[in-house]
């Protein structure tokens, strides 16, 4: 713990339990005992639109209304549910205990608010979501029948970026009290604090250049994992909980609130959208051509000149930039695997905290309003794409930016230059805020696939690979157990080559540039192994995670590294006689050896290498070595 420790002191713990919403004031229950709050775990699916948030504090409603131009239902400000953000006049962000107490009280006061359980976080405390719907109906079947648009909003995936926490607290309060009108066709679901470990690791110095709040959480979770790199590998308990919620909720729109660093510019809010070519189909086109432009228009009407996420950290952005590439380890890339439109709002860390929170509030309202007005078109596009997915044969696995095609954006920046550093004496970059400019710059937002694979009918994975099975279940994959031992003709990949990172990245040493050879062969399948038919809602997820050449697949994340080490070998002096006998019996093998000698002089001088060559072509060589243990049924 560092910085202003009063925010996490015993005085706060007297107010509300750290274990989550729904506990009695003053209680600090056993972190693993989550069933004590089952009262708050009712399903919440029964509206037209769903929003999911992760709040920590909220902005004063009168400040938000004044800045965004939103009118209240009553025309007055109710101080009953003021947030820490409002009480501090925009200087403080709510602590995790304050968030818990706030939503516990809000639920007790309003039938339109519900609280549910997502399972434990890595630190043992239970994750919670908050749901809002005008009719107060949270039954899963009723929500599905109602056809409401589901909007999922996530906050504090990086708790040092808390803007969404406070904006979401105010937004849900204002909806419950009638200060703002959430359309009837919306289901709003909020994950108030996603990264619990990071939220409790509170201080004031981890975001060196950020303008407020006074104190905030830390980027890593309780195991120091970056949860916005974890959507595929699911190392964190939080990720298993969120992906399970995501696939059950099947959100139409997903928001993941952030704060951005990098270059200096005038914009308060930037927006990272799911890369539309990767999202693909009618959904990708509708998002790019209709929904996203409307969000920009709405924000401008409320005083915010929004710009696409400024994805340029090596140079100044004066000459434009490329759209952020979002593989499915990230929230926006993950959402694309399920035909969900995702946005990552990125407020600018050099802007005052209060201004950032107001902008986040305004954008979330814009998403709700615009989503509600276009709910039918959004749901139709997603339904059509899900149907088309079932007959789609070829699936891209990797992408690159198209540097020929580009759009343009109106960028409001500051002139930059170089001056002598007072630290090093060498030239240093600076931005001159006294010299703002506005100009059109290129924005490269078109991507093209660079690798693809044909979908099989099904995958078969042995039951021994439990960590992979856990991930598949958390992501809503339908699987069936094989009832008896059998031999099947399947396609097995041989791992021919790969490169491995020399340094760890998020607990792993990822593989890349994987080369494989598919081989049809007889595979012994045992009782209890898993058969996964590909034609299901998780089809894209299955292909991108189970294909070994997928850049963000399970092989890339080291889930199958056991097959990369040879377990048995031979003693040269013993194997000499056996190898000689094999060459006499197998003229074809003898010719292969001779051809190899003729083609490779170094090989011809290496006796051990020649024995190894024969060993690898013999029945003694272990078939499991470098054979990828997920098989394709073509």
Tens-digit pLDDT profile for residues 145-181: 789 999 999 999 999 999 999 999 999 999 999 999 9
Provide CATH code, domain 5-390. 3.40.630.10
Please state, in angstroms and rounded to a whole number, the distance separating the CA atoms of residues 37 and 43.
Answer: 14
Tokens of 120: 């434990």
Average pLDDT of the residues of the chain: 89
Q: What is the mean pLDDT of residues 433-461?
A: 97
Tens-digit pLDDT profile for residues 294-312: 999 999 999 999 999 999 8
- Per domain, the residue ranges of the chain are 5-390, 405-448, 454-566+626-633, 572-616
pLDDT band at residue 138 under the 50/70/90 scheme: confident
Q: Is 391 exposed, middle or buried (0-12, 13-18, 19+ CB in 10 A)?
A: exposed
Tens-digit pLDDT profile for residues 547-564: 999 999 999 999 999 999
Give how far the C-alpha of residue 110 lies from the chain's centroid of Cα atoms, to the nearest Å.
Answer: 31
Judge whether residue 420 has pLDDT over 50: yes
Please state, in angstroms and rounded to a whole number, the distance separating the CA atoms of residues 22 and 107.
Answer: 9
Tokens 């072509």 found at: 617
Please state, in angstroms and rounded to a whole number, the distance separating the CA atoms of residues 482 and 492.
Answer: 18
Q: Looking at the chain, how many residues does it have?
A: 634
């Amino acid at each position: 713990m560092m910085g202003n420790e009063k925010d996490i002191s015993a005085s706060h713990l007297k107010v509300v339990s750290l274990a989550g919403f729904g506990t009695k004031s003053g209680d600090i229950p056993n972190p693993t005992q989550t069933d004590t709050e089952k009262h708050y775990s009712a399903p919440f699916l029964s509206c037209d639109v769903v929003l999911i948030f992760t709040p920590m504090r909220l902005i004063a409603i009168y400040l938000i209304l004044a800045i965004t131009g939103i009118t209240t239902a009553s025309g007055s400000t109710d101080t009953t549910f003021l947030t820490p953000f409002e009480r501090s006049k925009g200087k403080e962000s709510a602590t995790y205990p304050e968030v818990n107490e706030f939503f516990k009280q809000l639920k007790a006061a309003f039938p339109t608010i519900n609280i549910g359980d997502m399972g434990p976080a890595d630190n043992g405390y239970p994750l919670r979501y908050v749901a809002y719907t005008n009719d107060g109906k949270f039954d899963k079947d009723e929500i599905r029948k109602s056809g409401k648009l589901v909007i999922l909003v996530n906050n504090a995936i990086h708790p040092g970026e808390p803007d969404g926490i406070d904006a979401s607290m105010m937004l849900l309060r204002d909806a419950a009290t009638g200060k703002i009108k959430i359309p009837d066709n919306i289901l709003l679901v909020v994950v108030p604090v996603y990264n619990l470990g990071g939220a409790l690791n509170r201080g004031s110095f981890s975001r060196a250049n950020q303008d407020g709040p006074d104190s905030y959480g830390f980027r890593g979770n309780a195991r120091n994992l970056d949860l916005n790199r974890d959507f595929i590998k699911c190392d964190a308990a939080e990720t298993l909980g969120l992906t399970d919620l995501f696939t059950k909720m099947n959100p139409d729109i997903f928001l993941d609130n952030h704060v951005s660093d990098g270059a200096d510019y005038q914009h308060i809010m930037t927006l990272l959208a799911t890369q539309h070519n990767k999202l693909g189909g009618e959904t990708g086109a509708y998002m790019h051509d209709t929904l996203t432009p409307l969000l920009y228009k709405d924000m401008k009407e409320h005083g915010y000149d929004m710009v696409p996420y400024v994805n340029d950290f090596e140079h100044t952005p004066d000459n434009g930039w490329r759209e952020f590439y979002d593989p499915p380890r990230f929230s926006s890339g993950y959402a694309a695997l399920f035909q969900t439109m995702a946005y990552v709002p990125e407020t600018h860390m050099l802007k005052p905290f209060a201004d950032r929170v107001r902008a986040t509030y305004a954008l979330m309202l814009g998403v709700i309003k615009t989503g509600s007005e276009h709910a039918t078109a959004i749901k139709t596009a997603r339904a059509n794409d899900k149907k088309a997915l079932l007959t789609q044969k070829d699936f891209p696995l990797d992408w690159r930016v198209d540097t020929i095609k580009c759009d343009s954006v109106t960028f409001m920046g500051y002139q930059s230059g170089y001056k002598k550093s007072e630290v090093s004496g060498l030239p240093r970059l600076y931005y001159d805020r006294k010299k703002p400019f506005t100009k059109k710059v290129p924005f490269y937002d078109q991507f093209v696939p660079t690798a693809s694979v044909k979908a099989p009918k099904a995958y078969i994975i042995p039951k021994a690979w439990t960590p992979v099975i856990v991930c598949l279940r958390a992501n809503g994959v339908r699987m069936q157990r094989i009832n008896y031992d059998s031999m099947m003709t399947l396609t097995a990949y041989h791992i021919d080559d790969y490169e491995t990172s020399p340094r760890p990245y998020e607990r792993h040493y990822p593989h890349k540039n994987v080369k494989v050879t598919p081989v049809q062969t007889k595979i012994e399948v045992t009782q209890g192994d898993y058969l996964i038919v590909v034609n299901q809602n998780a089809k894209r997820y299955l292909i991108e995670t189970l294909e070994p050449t997928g850049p963000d697949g399970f092989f890339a994340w080291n889930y199958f590294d056991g097959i990369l080490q040879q377990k048995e070998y031979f003693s040269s002096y013993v194997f000499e006689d056996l190898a000689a006998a094999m060459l006499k019996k197998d003229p074809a093998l003898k010719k292969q050896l001779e051809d190899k000698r003729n083609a490779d002089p170094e090989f011809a001088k290496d006796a051990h290498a020649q024995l190894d060559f024969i060993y690898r072509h013999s029945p003694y060589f272990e078939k499991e070595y470098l054979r990828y243990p997920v098989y394709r049924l073509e």
